[in-house]
Amino acid sequence: AGDHQRRVLKDVFGFDDFRPGQAAVIEALLAGRHVLAVMPTGAGKSLCYQVPALVKGGLTIVVSPLVALMQDQVAALRLAGVAADTINSSLDRDANVAAWRRVASGQTRLLYLAPERLMTERMLEALSRLDVSLIAIDEAHCISQWGPAFRREYEDLSRLRGLFADVPIIALTATADEATRADIEARLFAGRAETLVLGFDRPNIKLAMETKQDSKRQLLRFVERHPGKSGIIYCLSRRKTEEMAAFLEKNGVRALPYHAGMSKEAREANQNAFMSLSGVVMVATIAFGMGIDKPDVAYVFHTDLPGSLEAYYQEIGRAGRDGRPAEAHMLYGAGDIRTRRMFIDDEDTSPEHKRRAHRRLDTLIGYCETAQCRRQVLLGYFGEEAQACGNCDNCLDQAPRADGSAEARTILAA
Ligand code: ADP
Ligand code: MG
Ligand code: ZN
């Protein structure tokens, strides 16, 4: 079986080796076990179900929250010669009918569906008559009410286990504190899944924090230290992305805004420019990034406090995927904490939900304010122990300097 997997990896995807974690996940699925795979962004989660889908034959159903992500994946698989399809609301009726014909006739190996489309009685009934061999649930944290990206349509997926009794299910996520993990397992697997958690460390990303004073000037100074590099700048509001992008442009930086309030065409044009050129700075809200896989992003700069430590981790994970030195830089000010607290209090949710959200925010603040190695704190949150990293502002501040300041301190103290 090991050989078969490697052949698929090489012949279909063109890769020589599995990345850490992939082989273990694939083995477990092929042995018929349910799996919860917690792996960082960029670790290669898609392959964890795409390879078994091809090894097993039959139909693999892939649940994914965003139509754009599904389209990308299907296009990429087809380029590799894999029979993949999606049925979704952005396709016209004829295209959906044609896709369903291929699925029903057994040609399709992977079928990508949004959760609400999969969980209709008609779709479930039709699928139950086919040879379903695997179900993959991507971005599985969306099922957790306590997670940062809860989606009501995901709740219904808990019925899958009962509906497809003998079919292994794999849930994949990069967002994984203990509570969210346990919640996913309880909802999808009644607690009976093999959980595989992979290393979260991204040692090439330098972590740093700066007190927020004049965000525009601070941002410009940072960007100017990375001339010609691609970077992502996250802002809290749509208006601010426009302002910041305009300000950078005025100062000679190639910068483009991205937010959900822009037309689809404008968003796509900016995203394409960012993806295909080097040296473009994307100034975006969190609407930008899911599924973005550009290897040479040199930095992620937060002008405002992110929503949670998980969100922060996911966002900075878009930097340095090529393994080269990259930076995660955040401006941090008391005003941001007040704004975030207000967001939580204004949300239309239960008191318990609010309590958890405040606690989540406290964790993030703890990370921002720590004098310890930031990587230790960050990884510790995901349940990993680490040595002081030497590549965060706190570690670097403590290192003896070559400029004689350590010596000066000794002399002055004496
Ligand atoms: P994730 O969903 O975990 O964020 P993806 O599945 O999108 O990650 O994969 C990220 C990138 O890693 C993709 O470009 C993919 O082709 C690449 N990749 C995945 N597995 C391997 C591998 N075994 N060897 C080389 N590249 C890989
Ligand atoms: Mg993914
Ligand atoms: Zn450190």
Distance 246 CA to ligand 2 centre (A): 31
The one-letter amino acid at 35: V
Q: Which atom of ligand 1 is nearest to the CA of 19?
A: 23
The DSSP code for 140 is: G
Q: Is 318 in the pocket of ligand 1 (CB under 6 A)?
A: no
Contacts of 410 (CB under 8 A, 6+ apart): none
Phi-psi bin for 346: left (phi > 0), alpha (psi -120 to 50), beta? alpha
19 ligand 1 Cβ < 6 A: yes
Are 360 and 309 spatial neighbours (Cβ–Cβ below 8 Å)? yes
Task: Report CA(13)–ligand 1 centroid distance (Å).
Answer: 10
Which atom of ligand 1 is closest in space to residue 174's alpha carbon? 3
Q: pLDDT averaged over the chain?
A: 90
What was the ipTM of the complex prediction?
Answer: 0.97
pTM over 0.90: no
Pairwise CA distance, residues 54 & 60, whole Å: 9
State residue 150's pLDDT score: 79
- Give residue 373 CA to ligand 3 midpoint distance, Å: 4
Query: What are the two backbone dihedrals, phi and then psi, of residue 187, each rounded to the nearest 5 degrees?
Result: -75, -45
**pLDDT of the residue at 176:** 65
Mean pLDDT of 82-98: 94
Q: Which strands make up the sheet holding 169-173, listed edge to edge?
A: 84-86, 110-113, 59-63, 132-137, 169-173, 35-38, 194-197
Q: How long is the chain?
A: 414
Helices in 232-348 by DSSP H: which ranges? 238-250, 264-276, 309-316, 334-346
Nearest CA residue ID for atom 5, ligand 1? 44
Mean pLDDT: which of 39-53, 138-152, 237-251, 278-292 is highest?
237-251
Ranked by mean pLDDT, the top range of 12-26, 75-89, 305-319 is: 75-89
Q: Tell me the best of 19, 46, 314 to mutate to test the pocket of ligand 1, counting ligand atoms within 8 Å of each CB and taking the most.
A: 46
Helices 22-30/2-13 angle, 10° precision: 120
Taking the C-alpha atoms of residue 163 and residue 124, their distance in angstroms, rounded to an integer, is 8
Judge whether 187 and 144 are in contact, CB under 8 Å.
yes
Residue 202 CA to ligand 1 centre (angstroms): 15
132 CB burial (10 A radius; 0-12, 13-18, 19+): middle
Ligand nearest to the CA of 64: 2
Ligand 3 centroid to 380 CA: how many Å?
12
Asked if the model's pLDDT at residue 411 lies above 50, the reply is no
Q: Average the pLDDT over 373-386 and give the result.
A: 86
Residue 309 has pLDDT above 80, yes or no: yes
